[in-house]
A and B are shown apart, each in its own frame.
Chain A
């Protein structure tokens, strides 16, 4: 009588199993890496095509005689991986390319599916030859350029670049002052000064405007001060009389106009008098 023999398979040797296991691990690693690369490429494309931009650019006059340009810069991350260690440098130039100021953002992290909103503020000092003069009296496009580095998907070094033109509405767009013909009344000579501009900014112009007539020999001939209240988007057109001191001729001189608010005083570029 034959013994009952159950046929079985011999277990592969340990070294064979080890080689097999290493091959399987290698295949899994390859598949995981390829899938990872694919999802990263897709997510990075989503980030790049999302609307990274600057928002709500506005300005106000600071008490130290400067214009504070503030706004926000946003970068949305609709992808599946975080943007880590994001550090951005940015510069703003005026319509003629003159550098106005710079700001830094970060380092920060933008989580997947989130939008990073970064506020910024640049104080631009106003001086007769400074770059901020044109912001007061000329509508223009400001060039906002930001660039920086970050790590995307834990592994990939990325460079981010944003370039955008933002329209700028000047609070005293087209400011112009001109002198009329002198009028003699009761032995005093007065001259009408015609001031025009439009407020293209988002804020009302509420304050006091002053002008001083300076003669060609740099002598103050006279001036006037008057309150203004110009709503945003409105045109200002007003004539004020200035009494000239005796013997002082404004011809060949210039007009110095200043605008005063509780925050401070701004001096506009001098207007030459023909």
Chain B
């Protein structure tokens, strides 16, 4: 009787993917809309209304904030639902692109000035530069989306065991 060949050590294995069902993903995406709505629409609109009511004019309108926020929510929900598919990468790019366009639209309404008065002095600050800095975030999102798209093209389904570990 011959002895079995010695084990060569652990073989790298990816845990099997446990991709949630489409119905489950739609449900979670719908639930994610609630905090997303608060962050992207309710809170900005409330802040905008508050500062406008206190005499501080901000160039962007409530309608624009609502529309761009809704666009982000819609693409974000689609992105989540289609995460197990090859559409995830392009949708990630689309999501960041919407964010980028949102910021560029906001920047086109510059200058953004915020005046504060206290006692005998007042200070007016321009914060357009802050919006320019924020452009970094969707730009990085586009890069990440591109990488995911390339990954899916090279190895379809290859990321699923890591995105949806068993």
A5 touches B7 (CB 8 A): yes
Q: How many A-B residue pairs have CB under 8 A?
A: 140
Within 8 A of B (CB), among A101-157: 152, 155-157
Q: How far is the CA of A106 from the CA of B144 in the complex (A)?
A: 46
> Is the C-beta of B148 less than 8 angstroms from some C-beta in chain A?
yes
| A157 contact set on B, CB distance < 8 A | 125-126, 129
Q: How far is the CA of A159 from the CA of B113 in the complex (A)?
A: 10
Q: Looking at the assembled complex, report how far the CB atom of B57 sits from the nearest CB atom of chain A, in whole angstroms.
A: 15
Known contacts: A16-B159, A48-B117. The answer to whether A156 contacts B7 by CB under 8 A is no
Count residues of A near B (Cβ-Cβ below 8 Å): 48
| A16 contact set on B, CB distance < 8 A | 147-148, 151, 158-159, 162
Within 8 A of A (CB), among B102-131: 114, 116-127, 129-130
| A15 contact set on B, CB distance < 8 A | 147, 150-151, 154
The interface stretch among B8-16, B25-33, B63-71 is B8-16
A49 touches B118 (CB 8 A): yes
Q: How far is the CA of A47 from the CA of B118 in the complex (A)?
A: 9
Within 8 A of A (CB), among B8-49: 9-15
- Of chain B, the residue at the smallest CB distance from A75 is B121
Q: Looking at the assembled complex, report how far the CB atom of B132 sits from the nearest CB atom of chain A, in whole angstroms.
A: 10
Count residues of B near A (Cβ-Cβ below 8 Å): 47
B120 touches A162 (CB 8 A): yes
Taking chain A's interface residues, is the majority helix, strand, or loop, or is none over half, making it mixed? mixed
| B15 contact set on A, CB distance < 8 A | 9
Q: Looking at the assembled complex, report how far the CB atom of A40 sits from the nearest CB atom of chain B, in whole angstroms.
A: 8
A23 touches B144 (CB 8 A): yes
Q: Looking at the assembled complex, report how far the CB atom of B152 sits from the nearest CB atom of chain A, in whole angstroms.
A: 10
Known contacts: A19-B144, A23-B140, A29-B137. The answer to whether A47 contacts B123 by CB under 8 A is yes
A8 touches B118 (CB 8 A): no
> Is the C-beta of B161 less than 8 angstroms from some C-beta in chain A?
yes
| A10 contact set on B, CB distance < 8 A | 12-14, 161
| B74 contact set on A, CB distance < 8 A | none
The interface stretch among A50-58, A191-199, A205-213, A220-228 is A50-58
A11 touches B126 (CB 8 A): no
Known contacts: A4-B7, A10-B13, A19-B151. The answer to whether A26 contacts B121 by CB under 8 A is no
- Of chain B, the residue at the smallest CB distance from A5 is B7
A13 touches B158 (CB 8 A): yes
Binding site for A on B (CB under 8 A): 3-7, 9-15, 114, 116-127, 129-130, 133-134, 136-137, 140-141, 143-145, 147-148, 150-151, 154-155, 158-159, 161-162, 165
* Sample (19) of A-B pairs whose CB atoms are under 8 Å apart: A3-B4, A3-B6, A8-B10, A10-B13, A15-B147, A16-B147, A18-B147, A19-B144, A19-B148, A22-B141, A26-B137, A26-B140, A33-B137, A45-B118, A48-B118, A51-B119, A51-B120, A158-B125, A161-B124
